[in-house]
């Protein structure tokens, strides 16, 4: 990846954007179009030389059919602008498909791409016969996609497996990755691991499930000290968490506030009066807030 001056001076841009913008999509489309022109999809969608049937490029029609079949809703040729009508006038504006569809498409491309290696030159048809290095193609494509994501602050990363994962908020991500859950309660450990996996998912709906599951963790944790008396149990846990009176009182107030959030929003229950948590930044905030409280209690248990 190029070492750009701005990154050396200011550090890399924060990876906080969870929606693929038209700018990022246009960069991906340009990348894919360049790969088509180079014949990089010829291993999976080969164009054959009429004389001998050696691979000489990419069959763009077969590629298009494969994309349309596996990516419902994605138009081909790939669109980076769309016509918008305003009264009697119309104009083209930058466009990007829905984020999850873009990420699926990028994974599709990674699976299909391979670096073309020119071989024998065929004078009559003015083309090279090609062989392919699939691993090199994967590596180069992944590096370019991750550079586009990084330079635009996109909170996704492509792994060496070709899977795209979410880049977690910096502090919370470090804690989630390095924390080994060993509470003494196997069910609670499994619930926490489930939260960790779901919160890393690129799908906002799955991350919302992680938030709901973390509130289930909170309810179980509060009963660990005395399963028969939840109020006494949380008192014992908070007493062990902080002995300094002012901080102890603040932690109790925080515990009560977390209870209120869980009960008044569509997290723990499903009454029609409850308010759903939809905004992805709100999901991150609430997860971070509750996880910090749970982690502190587990450390002081």
Q: Would you state the structure tokens that stand for residue 167, as one six-digit string?
A: 């880049």
Q: What percent of the chain has pLDDT over 90?
A: 59
- Rounded CA separation 39/45 (Å): 9
- Rounded CA separation 122/120 (Å): 6
Q: What local confidence, expressed as pLDDT, does residue 101 receive?
A: 97
3-state secondary structure of 147: helix
Average per-residue pLDDT for the chain: 89
- Rounded CA separation 232/290 (Å): 20
Q: What local confidence, expressed as pLDDT, does residue 182 receive?
A: 82
Smallest Cα–Cα separation from 191: which of 100, 298, 278, 264?
298
Q: What local confidence, expressed as pLDDT, does residue 187 receive?
A: 93
Q: What local confidence, expressed as pLDDT, does residue 84 receive?
A: 82
pLDDT digits (tens, 9 = 90+) for 1-47: 567 888 778 777 888 899 999 999 999 999 999 999 999 999 999 99
Instruction: Report whether 130 contacts 117 (CB < 8 A).
Output: yes
Confidence of residue 281 (pLDDT cuts 50, 70, 90): confident
Mean pLDDT for the stretch of residues 160-177: 78
Boundaries of every domain in the chain: 5-165, 168-299
The structure's pTM equals: 0.78
CA distance to 155, 207, 268, 277, 284, per residue, from 281 (Å): 12, 11, 19, 10, 5
Given a cut of 60, is residue 93 above it in pLDDT? yes
Which 8-state DSSP code applies to residue 205? H
Q: What percent of the chain has pLDDT over 70?
A: 93
Q: Would you state the structure tokens that stand for residue 261, as one six-digit string?
A: 């959030």
pLDDT digits (tens, 9 = 90+) for 216-269: 999 999 999 999 999 999 999 999 999 999 999 999 999 999 999 988 886 765
243 prior amide bond cis, ω within 30: no
């Amino acid at each position: 990846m190029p070492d750009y001056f701005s990154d050396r001076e200011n550090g890399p841009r924060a990876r906080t954007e969870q929606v693929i913008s038209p700018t990022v999509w246009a960069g991906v489309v340009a990348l894919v179009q360049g790969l088509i022109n180079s014949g990089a999809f010829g291993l999976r969608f080969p164009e054959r030389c009429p004389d001998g049937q050696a691979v000489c490029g990419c069959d763009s029609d077969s590629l298009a059919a494969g994309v349309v079949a596996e990516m419902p809703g994605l138009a081909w040729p790939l669109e980076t602008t769309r016509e918008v009508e305003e009264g009697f006038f119309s104009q083209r504006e930058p466009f990007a498909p829905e984020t999850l569809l873009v990420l699926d498409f990028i994974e599709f491309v990674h699976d299909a791409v391979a670096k073309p290696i020119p071989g024998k030159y065929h004078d009559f048809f003015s083309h090279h016969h090609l062989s392919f290095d699939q691993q090199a193609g994967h590596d180069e494509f992944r590096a370019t996609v991750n550079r586009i994501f990084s330079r635009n602050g996109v909170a996704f990363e492509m792994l060496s497996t070709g899977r795209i994962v979410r880049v977690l908020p910096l502090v919370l991500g470090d804690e989630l990755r390095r924390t080994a859950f060993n509470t003494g309660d196997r069910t609670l450990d499994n619930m926490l691991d489930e939260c960790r996996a779901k919160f890393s998912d690129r799908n906002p709906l799955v991350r919302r499930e992680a938030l709901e599951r973390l509130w289930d963790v909170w309810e179980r944790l509060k009963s660990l000290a005395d399963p028969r008396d939840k109020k006494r149990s949380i008192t014992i846990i908070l007493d062990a968490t902080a002995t300094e009176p002012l901080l102890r009182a603040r932690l109790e107030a925080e515990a009560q506030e977390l209870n209120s959030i869980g009960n008044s929003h569509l997290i723990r229950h499903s009454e029609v009066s409850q308010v759903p948590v939809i905004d992805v930044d709100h999901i991150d905030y609430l997860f971070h807030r509750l996880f910090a409280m749970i982690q502190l209690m587990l450390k002081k248990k």
